[in-house]
């Protein structure tokens, strides 16, 4: 069992080794030694950095600082990229930097070669005088390709653009970045102000929501009580009535017309019955009809003057 497992592992390793050898040996641009960089100090100020042209290079980028440290992918105070070789060299020029003797330039370089990205990092150069042209003599080893390097933007520059145009483009990009940063900052400020206002309004509105909820609960309770009550539309008429009444509904219709001037009350009455000798209970179709009769009786006071009382009646316990 162990021998079979060992053989499987060895076979798998052989496959991976073969793939690596094929990629490094046959893939164009699989391994690149970036050429030595040449540094030229300009007067009264400026610095020019260049590398010799090699077939397949599409972009050269330099990132450096003077007398400070720099990390890979850090932009640096001296930075720029070149998309075209001139006179056999890829040349980057910064006309604003001042370099003096004994200054130390720490830098890293990025090169796009055969559609793959390569870089050398942790590079350092000591400037020996203020008027020099130096070749970086440090060893450049084979660089591993980097796919989709995040930092670089490939501009469609006209063919006659030079390094001075690159400086202008970088300056424009820097201004655009500053404007964008300012816009984002203003938007964040406005968003924070809006959030503060919303929090304040919520603090004021939440108690009102709670009161509305309580009122709604009360309304729902009363409505449910009304819907569930079979006697919610019943009225009680108290007074002296004839001994024999053939139809209580017809009697109530005539009674309301004469006493309260309410016409066709019989159309609103559902049922009517004697509760006692001097009491008649009747039910109307709706609570609106019930409240209408009670209001008219209360306002006109004709029933009370004649010795009658019309009031609410409920048979609920």
The string of pLDDT tens digits covering residues 89-103 is: 999 999 999 888 889
Percent of the chain with pLDDT strictly greater than 70: 74
pLDDT at 146: 54
Q: Lowest mean pLDDT: which of 22-26, 169-173, 223-227, 230-234?
A: 22-26
**What does the pLDDT average to over 38-42?**
91
pLDDT at 25: 41
Strand 234-238 and strand 279-284: the pairing is: antiparallel
What is the H or E stretch that residue 251 is in?
helix 248-260
pLDDT at 7: 53
Report the 10 Å Cβ neighbour count for 285.
12
Beta-bridge partners for 142: 33
Average pLDDT, the chain: 79
Report the 10 Å Cβ neighbour count for 48.
18
User: Which residues contact residue 24 at a Cβ distance below 8 angstroms, ignoring those fewer than 6 apart?
Assistant: 30, 31
Q: How far apart are CA 219 and CA 203, in angstroms?
A: 25
Query: Is residue 140 predicted with pLDDT exceeding 70?
Result: no
245 vs 231: which has the higher pLDDT? 245
170 vs 258: which has the higher pLDDT? 258
CA angle 135, 155, 29 (to 5 degrees): 55
> What dotted CATH number matches 234-312?
3.30.70.1820
pLDDT at 79: 94
Q: Lowest mean pLDDT: which of 31-40, 142-151, 174-183?
A: 142-151
**Are 32-153 and 234-312 the same fold in CATH?**
no
Domain limits, the chain: 1-30, 32-153, 162-228, 234-312
pLDDT at 66: 94
Percent of the chain with pLDDT strictly greater than 90: 32
Fold of 32-153: Immunoglobulin-like (2.60.40)
Query: Is residue 112 predicted with pLDDT exceeding 90?
Result: yes
Query: Is residue 105 predicted with pLDDT exceeding 60?
Result: yes
The 3-state secondary structure of 57-122, one letter per residue: EEEEEEEEEECCCCCCCCCCCEEEEECCCECCEEEEEECCCCCCCCCEEEEEEEEEECCEEEEEEE
**CB burial class (10 A; 0-12, 13-18, 19+) of residue 118?**
buried
Tokens of 22: 């094929």
Q: Lowest mean pLDDT: which of 117-126, 128-137, 166-175?
A: 128-137
Q: C-alpha 35: how far from its chain's center?
A: 47
Q: How far apart are CA 116 and CA 217, in angstroms?
A: 70
């Amino acid at each position: 069992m162990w021998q079979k497992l060992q053989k499987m592992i060895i076979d798998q390793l052989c496959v991976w080794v073969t793939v690596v050898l094929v990629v490094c040996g046959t893939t164009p641009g699989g391994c690149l030694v970036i050429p030595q960089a040449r540094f030229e100090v300009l007067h009264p100020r400026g610095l020019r950095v260049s590398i010799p042209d090699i077939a397949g290079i599409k972009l050269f980028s330099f990132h450096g600082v003077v007398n400070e440290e720099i990390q890979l992918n850090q932009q640096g105070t001296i930075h720029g990229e070149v998309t075209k070789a001139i006179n056999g060299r890829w040349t980057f020029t910064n006309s604003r930097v001042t370099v003096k003797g004994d200054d130390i330039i720490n830098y890293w370089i990025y090169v796009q070669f055969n559609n793959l990205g390569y870089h050398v990092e942790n590079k350092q150069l000591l400037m020996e005088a203020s008027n020099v042209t130096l070749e970086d003599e440090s060893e450049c080893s084979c660089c591993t390709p980097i796919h989709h390097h995040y930092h670089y933007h490939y501009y469609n520059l006209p063919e006659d653009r030079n390094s001075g145009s690159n400086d202008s483009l970088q300056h424009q990009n820097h201004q655009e970045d500053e404007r964008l940063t300012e816009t984002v900052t203003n938007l964040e400020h406005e968003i924070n102000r809006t959030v503060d206002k919303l929090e304040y309004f919520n603090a004021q509105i939440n108690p009102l929501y709670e009161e509305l909820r309580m009122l709604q609960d009360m309304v729902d309770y009363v409505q449910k009580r009304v819907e569930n009550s079979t006697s919610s539309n019943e009225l009680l008429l108290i007074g002296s009535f004839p001994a024999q009444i053939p139809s209580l509904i017809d009697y109530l219709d005539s009674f309301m017309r004469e006493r309260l001037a309410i016409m066709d009350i019989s159309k609103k009455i559902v049922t009517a019955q004697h509760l006692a000798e001097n009491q008649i209970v009747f039910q109307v179709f709706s609570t609106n009809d019930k409240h209408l009769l009670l209001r008219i009786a209360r306002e006109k006071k004709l029933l009370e003057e004649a010795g009658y009382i019309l009031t609410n009646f409920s048979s609920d316990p």
